[in-house]
Chains A and B, each alone.
Chain A
Amino acid sequence: MADLTLTSVKKAYGNLNILHGIDLDIKSGEFIVFVGPSGCGKSTLLRTIAGLEEITGGTLEIAGEKVNDVPPSKRGIAMVFQSYALYPHMTVYDNMAFSMRIGRENKTEIDRRVRQAAEILQLTKYLERLPKALSGGQRQRVAIGRAIVRNPKVFLFDEPLSNLDAALRVATRIEIAKLKESMPETTMIYVTHDQVEAMTLANRIVVLKDGRIEQVGSPMELYRHPGNLFVAQFIGSPAMNILPATIEKTGQPTIVSHVGGHNVSVPVATPADAAGTKVSFGVRPEDLNIATGKDFLFEGVVDYIEQLGEVQMAYIQVGRVTEPLVAKLPGNAEIQRGGVLRLTADPGDLHIFDADGRSFARDRLAAKAA
């Protein structure tokens, strides 16, 4: 219904550049999540799409129409704010009816749509209340209801769960996922700094850093094959372990030697001129296993253990690496603080990044063969 195309969208405040040219194609019905650390420009990007911020360069198209200079209300979008932004002097009903009253819809239509939205969001009981008489979760639902009644082509969410407590956040996250399911035609764009929200909700995740897109892809793509060091460390918790390493043999697979002293075969293709260059070698904590055979990837002393029941986080000091490696091991694994531990990992779960932090081309067939 509504594709969204951003072509080198730029945003600057005076000399301060916030967005450095964003190129992005969003297909109708997609659930897109913008994720990134504070100050990466994700909220600004959302606000430029909403029309609350003017675009200083590039073009934004919604459903094939350039909307750079179209006012927010005419863009076919609705936005849910982190602070809910409910009108404090209006009842829940009036909050939801406001946009339609401004648009001079007829009364029966307004009533029908408000009650329908209230029904979906279980707010029927609270229609006559003022926002101050509602809990945080209810307020957030009213904010979502206010967006639903506008029947938008594109839903924009600006960190909608950040003001809720942990339990409510999970419940509301599931509600939003269900809401998306019930509106398969509607495009949703969601801003968060929480990677769990990004992973669970998104069809595609857009990772932003310093006003630039680092990588766009499905949650699993980003998790399995991060395009660069930043994405590798941003997605996944605890973050991916990164160690300095050197390329010993280029080609497919690549052989690297890391500080642990071992040569490891990584199923990625490297060009011949990369031989001998310094690279970063990465492996996720959850991909590390305790070595049972002779072969192992790392050997180190267990520095500290965090037992979480289901799993335990082992912090392992390997060689001269200053930061201990983190390994997510089964909760019942017999390990001891101060003891020596040997770890291994599936070659397909190993990553290397060049000096600029970019990953190398990965051949999945080769990974399977290894």
Chain B
Amino acid sequence: MTAQILSAVFTIIIGVGGCVVYFWTANRLLDVIFPSRGVSGAAAIDNLRRQGYIRPWLFVGPAMLILAVYLIYPVVATLILSVHDRTGQNFVGMANYSWAFGDREFLQAIFNNILWLAVVPAACTFLGLIIAVLTDKIWWGNIAKSLVFAPLAISFVGASVIWKFVYEYRGEGQAQIGILNAIVQYFGGNPQVWISTPFWNNFFLMVILIWIQTGFAMVILSSALRGIPDETIEAATIDGASGFQIFWKIMIPQIWGTIAVVWTTITILVLKVFDIVLTMTNGQWNSNTLANLMFDWMFRGGGDFGRGAAIAVIIMLAVVPIMIWNIRQANREGGGH
């Protein structure tokens, strides 16, 4: 225990200290190479200009290096892998892609992903918005908000474990320990094997992500709602708008940008959904999604780097346009350009 704490402290010191040493030394070195004192006026001005040109790169350099190693290199490597065979040695052209679009499992995963995309961002945003509006009007609103927000702190795997218990199935006649089946049985229904019922099991998995992400949507939208000037709502009241009309015609349009950001942020998350599927069904019973399928091909059954990489590239191509739009929208919201 003590050793672990010591090693953690040591690591932190090395990490933070290393950064300090790097920036200090780099800065110092620059001053020594291009001195601005003790040289003639013209040379000093020249050197100051050079310093001003180089210094920003010294500071963003490490970050750019890390980005390059951990982001750009993997992207390029994945692109290259996706046009090679399972070993990554022999060039096969677009074969992996043409395989994918003929593969039943891949098409199923695409279909499921589209299903997730259609349901989860909409449900999270809608529920988040409704909860944000309603909790503003009740005295226990903050408690309710905390409860809705709490799942966001739980990891996807942890959440999946919790929901596995909710969906737990025991044979007929046995006591149901899953709350959903317990309720069904209480009302006289037959217990169901929820997560292995094809097609519908997708929705049972989606509920988990909705449960987690609604809190995120709620928090962001709640602050956006508070930013709406009261006077516009009062003016609309005087203009004769009902509560419903005020909500749809005055409030929603004013936070439309924020809604779009929340929606797209969750959309990107959904495109990458992996942990929940892996933990709950591992893609069985027609519940696979692209990310889980990629993992399957990449690391399971001996691994097929080519096909795994091809699926990864397809996910990336789907995410990038939404990401660009999302960042633009977020910048506009923040008053940036």
Contacts and interface: CB of A to CB of B under 8 A. Distances in A.
Nearest to B233: A85
Contact of B240 (A86, A89, A99): A99
B245 to A, nearest CB: 6
B6 interface: no
B319 interface: no
B18 interface: no
Nearest to A85: B231
A65 B229 CA distance: 32
Interface residues of B, number: 17
A304 interface: no
Q: Tell me if B's interface is mostly helix, strand, loop or mixed.
A: helix
B237 to A, nearest CB: 5
Contacts of A73: 237-241
* 5 tightest A-B CB contacts, nearest first: A73-B240, A85-B231, A99-B239, A89-B253, A85-B235
Interface in B87-128: none
B248 to A, nearest CB: 12
Given A89-B254, A89-B256, A81 B231 contact: yes
B46 interface: no
Given A87-B250, A89-B253, A77 B238 contact: yes
24 contacts: A50-B238, A51-B238, A52-B238, A72-B238, A73-B239, A81-B235, A83-B229, A84-B231, A85-B232, A85-B234, A85-B235, A87-B250, A87-B253, A87-B254, A88-B232, A88-B254, A89-B254, A98-B249, A99-B239, A102-B240, A102-B241, A102-B245, A146-B235, A150-B239
Classify chain A's interface size. Answer: 20 to 34
Nearest to B241: A102
B239 A86 contact: no
B69 to A, nearest CB: 44
B236 interface: yes
A52 B231 CA distance: 10
A79 interface: yes
Contacts of B234: 52, 79, 81, 85
- Which of B232, B234, B235 counts the most chain A CB atoms within 10 A? B235
Contacts of B249: 98
A163 to B, nearest CB: 12
Given A85-B231, A146-B239, 13 more contacts: A73-B239, A73-B240, A77-B238, A81-B231, A81-B235, A85-B234, A86-B232, A87-B232, A87-B235, A88-B254, A89-B256, A102-B239, A150-B239
A78 interface: yes
Nearest to A150: B239
B227 to A, nearest CB: 11
Nearest to B237: A72
Interface in A58-94: 71-74, 77-79, 81, 83-90
Contacts of A86: 232, 235
A130 B39 CA distance: 58
Interface in B177-210: none
Contacts of A79: 234-235, 238
B310 to A, nearest CB: 44
Nearest to A89: B253
Nearest to B246: A102
Contacts of B232: 85-88
A14 interface: no
A321 to B, nearest CB: 46
Nearest to B235: A85
A52 B245 contact: no
A103 interface: yes
A52 B235 CA distance: 9
